[in-house]
Amino acid sequence: MVKPGESIFSIARIYGVSPSKVISENELSNPNNLAVGQTLVISKENRQHMVAPGESLFYIAGIYGVKVKDILAANPNITNPSLIYPGLIINIPQNIEKLGTIKVNGYAFPNIDINILNKTLPNLTYLSIFSHEVRPDGSLSTVNDARLIRLAKESKVAPLMVITNIEEGGSFSSSLGHTILTNNGVQEKLISNVIDTLKAKGYYGLGIDFEYLYPTDKENYNNFLRKVTQRLGDLGYTVTTALAPKISSEQKGLLYEAHDYPVHGALADHVIIMTYEWGYTFGPPLAVAPINEVRKVLDYATSVIPSNKILMGMPNYGYDWTLPYVQGTAATTLSNTGAVNLAISVGGRIEFDDESKAPFFYYYDSSGRQHIVWFEDARSTMEKLKLVDEYKLGGVSYWTIGRHFPQNWLVLNSMYNVKKLL
């Protein structure tokens, strides 16, 4: 955590690493300017080893007590492990004890910046491409997803097709969901179209994100899931569903009531629990995913769903509210790195809330209005990722990966190995 008067150079000296390493790993756009309270991720320097005659990667890994796959990850220039040669300099990663191997899903829109996608794919198990919108007749909107599917597979990431009850050009629709879930003919057409798309495009599985369903459609949704999981499971495809963050089976509200945790947990291969949006665009200033609230959701979820099926939602964004907050006014969405850059530009001092385990700061704009910004940093990321091990979850799911947040991936990879399925 940056203290008053500190610089990249003084911080690097404290930890015995090069300033350039801190700058490049944290991808700092202006390393000469830091915000007080800003977090930096400092990873230890890799050691180097010169290959001697007769040495193999397996032998070298044994010398340093690391795994061959970790050496390969630290040396992307080694494309054939059996063809190392005497005199080759290889980086030996630090032997950090990790908490285990998890699955990591990232939602992406088809127009994601390809550079950001390529930086992110090594950290993912699944890429969920958002989204094929379901039409009232069971047909699907078209998605320009061929490039994303190809790049995902090249990085051994399993691409997931996502269907939603979003009206084309609109938002999630309760009435559209009702039409789909109460008409067997529409469902049969939809399932056939899904299967055709999965086969034609080479998807690994299906993600279902039906939100704001009428409470009276709870059993209709359950029955639809029974059909889908049976049909797709027989063909070898996985099914993942997205669930609202409930803390009990009796939780009221249009977002929650039709999402039946025990049924989804029994039928789906994975469930993504959307543990974010306590702080949201038209709501009062709050942390987006306060850990005390996330815990309440996980306490309930793990009591009715096998924990290894759960992917905990991770928000990759923050909000900027104008104060005093007036109900109905909108906050501005910003990236986590954008929040830090804003703090730097306005001289904001970043603080950390112990209850929510999230960073925030205040500032005044050019018109003299006070603002508060809540976002995610390396500390809040680490606190959330600890929950994966504590609750023995299957992994995490990011909404979305469109805004690059390098510190997140540094922290995640220091704590867990990421499972690859391809």
Dihedral (CA of 121, 315, 261, 186) sign: negative
| Count of CB atoms situated within 10 Å of the CB of 216 | 12
Distance CA 340, CA 39 (A): 9
Choose, from 6, 97, 211, 257, the residue flagged as catalytic.
211
In the chain, where the domains are located: 8-92, 103-314+380-418
Quote the CATH superfamily of domain 103-314+380-418: Glycosidases (3.20.20.80)
Quote the CATH superfamily of domain 8-92: LysM domain (3.10.350.10)
DSSP 221-250: HHHHHHHHHHHHHHTT-EEEEEE---SSTT
Task: Please identify which residue in the block is written with the tokens 């994303």.
Answer: 148
Distance CA 249, CA 262 (A): 9
Active site residue 376: no
Q: Can you list the alpha helix ranges (DSSP code H) found in 32-145?
A: 57-64, 68-74, 114-120
| Count of CB atoms situated within 10 Å of the CB of 62 | 11
Name the residue among 88, 81, 74, 39 with its Cα closest to residue 58. 81
At residue 296, the 3 state secondary structure works out as: helix
Q: What is the pLDDT along the chain (422 residues), one digit of tens a residue?
A: 999 999 999 999 988 788 998 999 999 998 999 999 999 999 876 678 899 999 999 999 888 888 888 888 888 788 888 889 999 999 888 777 889 999 999 999 999 999 999 999 999 999 999 999 999 999 999 999 999 999 999 999 999 999 999 998 999 999 999 999 999 999 999 999 999 999 999 999 999 999 999 999 999 999 999 999 999 999 999 999 999 999 999 999 999 999 999 999 999 999 999 999 999 999 999 999 999 999 999 999 999 999 999 999 999 999 999 999 999 999 999 999 999 999 999 999 999 999 999 999 999 999 999 999 999 999 999 999 999 999 999 999 999 999 999 999 999 999 999 999 99
Are the beta carbons of 117 and 150 closer than 8 angstroms? Answer: no
